[in-house]
Structure 1
Amino acid sequence: MKKVLVATDKPFAKIAVDGIRKIVEDAGCELVLLEKYADHADFVRAVEDVDAVIIRSDIADRRVIEAGKKLKIIVRAGAGYDNIDLNAATEHKVVAMNTPGQNSNAVAELALGMMVYMARNSFNGSSGTELRGKSLGIHAYGNVGKYVALIAKGFGMNVFAFDPYVDNDTMLADGVQPVASAEELYGKCQYVSLHIPANAQTKKSIGYDLLMKMPKGATLVNTARKEVIDEEGLLRVFEERPDFKYLSDIEPDLKNQFESLYAGRYFFTPKKMGAQTSEANVNAGLAAARQIIDFFENGNTTFQVNK
């Protein structure tokens, strides 16, 4: 009997665990739970005799993968997968997957919610601005970007997008205006919503030169990863442009400098909140379980992120 481990320092909701258990056990597999574990070593030990692992933000590093002598597949319940050591997974013939699209609406709602919060001066009683009629640039038009566009159009925003991997016709069909470069996107838009992954090409790619192209009253919204921001460059922008604001779904490394110098011009969630809704929690967990069973039964590797 194959074993599926759910290793979650931040556990899934009970309804999600119950759904995962049903999917796994109906397929003739055993479910093993490791929740709120005290130490990474607990995860390493738990993986020793399992065939599959489901994680959330838990770190599936080389130690975990090498300890999993029977491990065939590991699925990150969510879109980002930088918490999996992909090289180690490939070396040990472990399939690594994510569950794209399952928390996209939750992330998109957070992005627009933070925009409203900042546009209305953090609801401090003073007169703010409206989103209607403003230009929004979506940097990377994937699952989350599509939901951001849909919601933003409901607010009456003019929506643009840049993504070299998505054809223009797809964007146009959604009522979104494609642009040819990141420079053009940032130059047009008062708001830019970031949805790029963190990889060798994108880390620290959002910096001074690009951000300075944004129009007066600019707001950068980051529900991606903090690593894509050149924080030193962003602080230079803040110093030179009192009109510039930054919203992030994760606290930056230089948080203290923002707090001491630029009160009222930023908002950071205390921990990554994009997927923190009951709906996304359930959707991603069930999708991960289904993908594991589909892989075992049919060899389906549709969402594989390593080679």
Structure 2
Amino acid sequence: MQTCLILDDYQNAALGLADWARLSDRLAVSNITDHIADRDALVSRIEQAEILVIMRERTPFPADLLERLPRLKLLVTSGMRNLAIDGAAARARGITVCGTESSPTPPTELTWALILGFARHLPLENRNLRDGGPWQSTVGMDLAGATLGVLGLGKIGSRVAAIGRAFGMRVIAWSPNLDDARAAAAGVERAESKEALLEASDVVTIHLVLGDRTRGLLGEAELRRMRPSAILVNTSRAPIVDQAALVRALEESWIAGAGLDVFETEPLPADSPFRRLPNVLALPHVGYVTRNNYRTFFTQAVEDIEAWLAGAPIRLLS
């Protein structure tokens, strides 16, 4: 009987959200709920598995790790894109890599949770209420009439933009390939440039795919173009923003603050400035973590495994 391990199941949710019993006559399935950062310890835990199910980029699979897993035959990731997997190295070793669908709704909702949480100072006001601190100590930011700048008008960005319009915001958007027709179809204005969007926006929210053209898209020069009263929200991928420049921007008040759900190193190191900066509302990369999205991930992971066992793998990653 082959072994299937589900990695980084932080919430211990995977086994209860899909019918893994369908595989019980062919596979021994178990989950690992802790994150194993040490490479040797990781190999020791997973080297006997023929099948691994992984969640996004929680554990990267570069070539040097794949080389240490000679038994591995199938790697299933949530989502249909995972830059943390060395696809070429996997193919060279005969490892099949499959994915699953992902809904744009959960990250859209979390984006607005961060925007609203920061705009109305919810963490501070809640803490004051619980701890007996000042009653009403902040003045909130009005969203109606403010400008929302959306970087990336895809499945998530277009939904975020629609909610911005519902709040009565002026919504502008920019991406390297955005044209007037696509912007008009989404009911937003197309900014002439990234710089124009940054200068005009009260809230800037990032919904771009990480790639060569978007890595480091916002650096010091771009962050300095933002308004001192503006908020930057990133629920996409951390490397789209130069992290050292972002820390400086927050420390030196180039911008009012940031709502962050993604980081270059996850879990976030204990000494990270993002844990201590008072003008950061940070979450542990939970934008896609909802019951329905997890149910889709793990149900389709079971389907991917069944198809692979039958010799006809589906949802192959290119």
TM over 0.5: yes
Paired AA for residue 152 in structure 2? A
Report the Cα offset of residue 180 of structure 1.
Answer: 4.5
Aligned equivalents of 1:45 and 1:252: distance in 2? 26
- Given that 2:224 and 2:254 are in contact with CA atoms closer than 8 Å, whether structure 1 keeps it comes out as no
Report the Cα offset of residue 162 of structure 1.
Answer: 2.2
- Given that 1:16 and 1:282 are in contact with CA atoms closer than 8 Å, whether structure 2 keeps it comes out as no
Structure 1: which 5+ runs fail to align? none
Aligned equivalents of 2:162 and 2:264: distance in 1? 28
- Given that 1:226 and 1:250 are in contact with CA atoms closer than 8 Å, whether structure 2 keeps it comes out as yes
Aligned equivalents of 1:194 and 1:16: distance in 2? 33
Moved more, 290-299 or 168-177: 290-299
Q: Does 1:106 align with 2:106?
A: yes
The one of 172, 175, 191 aligned to 1:163: 175
Q: Does 1:7 align with 2:6?
A: yes
Give the SS at the match of 1:286: helix
Quote the residue 1:82 is aligned against.
83
- When residues 251 and 65 of structure 1 are mapped into structure 2, their CA distance, relative to the original with a 3 A threshold, is closer
The one of 286, 294, 315 aligned to 1:281: 294
User: Within 5 Å, which residues of 2 pair with 1:74-223?
Assistant: 74-78=75-79, 81-102=82-103, 104-122=104-122, 123-124=124-125, 125=136, 126-165=138-177, 168-223=180-235
Moved more, 54-63 or 212-221: 54-63
Structure 2: which 5+ runs fail to align? 126-135
Give the SS at the match of 2:75: strand
Moved more, 5-14 or 138-147: 5-14
- Given that 1:13 and 1:282 are in contact with CA atoms closer than 8 Å, whether structure 2 keeps it comes out as no
Report the Cα offset of residue 289 of structure 1.
Answer: 3.3
Q: Does 1:290 align with 2:292?
A: no
- Given that 2:223 and 2:255 are in contact with CA atoms closer than 8 Å, whether structure 1 keeps it comes out as no
- Given that 1:100 and 1:143 are in contact with CA atoms closer than 8 Å, whether structure 2 keeps it comes out as no
Q: TM-score, normalised by structure 1?
A: 0.78
Report the Cα offset of residue 257 of structure 1.
Answer: 4.4
Aligned residues: 294
Give the SS at the match of 1:116: helix
Aligned equivalents of 2:224 and 2:175: distance in 1? 20
The one of 256, 271, 278 aligned to 1:244: 256
Deviations along 1:10-44, one digit per CA (max 9) or x if unpaired, are 2565576452426x549x86462232366412443
User: Within 5 Å, which residues of 2 pair with 1:26-41?
Assistant: 30=27, 32-36=29-33, 39-41=41-43
Report the Cα offset of residue 174 of structure 1.
Answer: 2.6
- Given that 1:112 and 1:148 are in contact with CA atoms closer than 8 Å, whether structure 2 keeps it comes out as yes
- Given that 2:14 and 2:298 are in contact with CA atoms closer than 8 Å, whether structure 1 keeps it comes out as no
Report the Cα offset of residue 236 of structure 1.
Answer: 3.7
Q: Does 1:268 align with 2:261?
A: no
Report the Cα offset of residue 110 of structure 1.
Answer: 1.2
**Once superposed, what is the RMSD of the aligned Cα atoms?**
3.4
Quote the residue 2:128 is aligned against.
none
Moved more, 244-253 or 123-132: 244-253
Moved more, 175-184 or 189-198: 175-184
Paired AA for residue 7 in structure 1? I
Give the SS at the match of 1:131: coil
- Given that 1:4 and 1:54 are in contact with CA atoms closer than 8 Å, whether structure 2 keeps it comes out as no
Moved more, 3-12 or 188-197: 3-12
- Given that 1:109 and 1:151 are in contact with CA atoms closer than 8 Å, whether structure 2 keeps it comes out as no
- Given that 1:138 and 1:161 are in contact with CA atoms closer than 8 Å, whether structure 2 keeps it comes out as yes
Quote the residue 2:133 is aligned against.
none
Report the Cα offset of residue 55 of structure 1.
Answer: 0.9
Give the SS at the match of 2:18: helix
Aligned equivalents of 2:282 and 2:43: distance in 1? 31
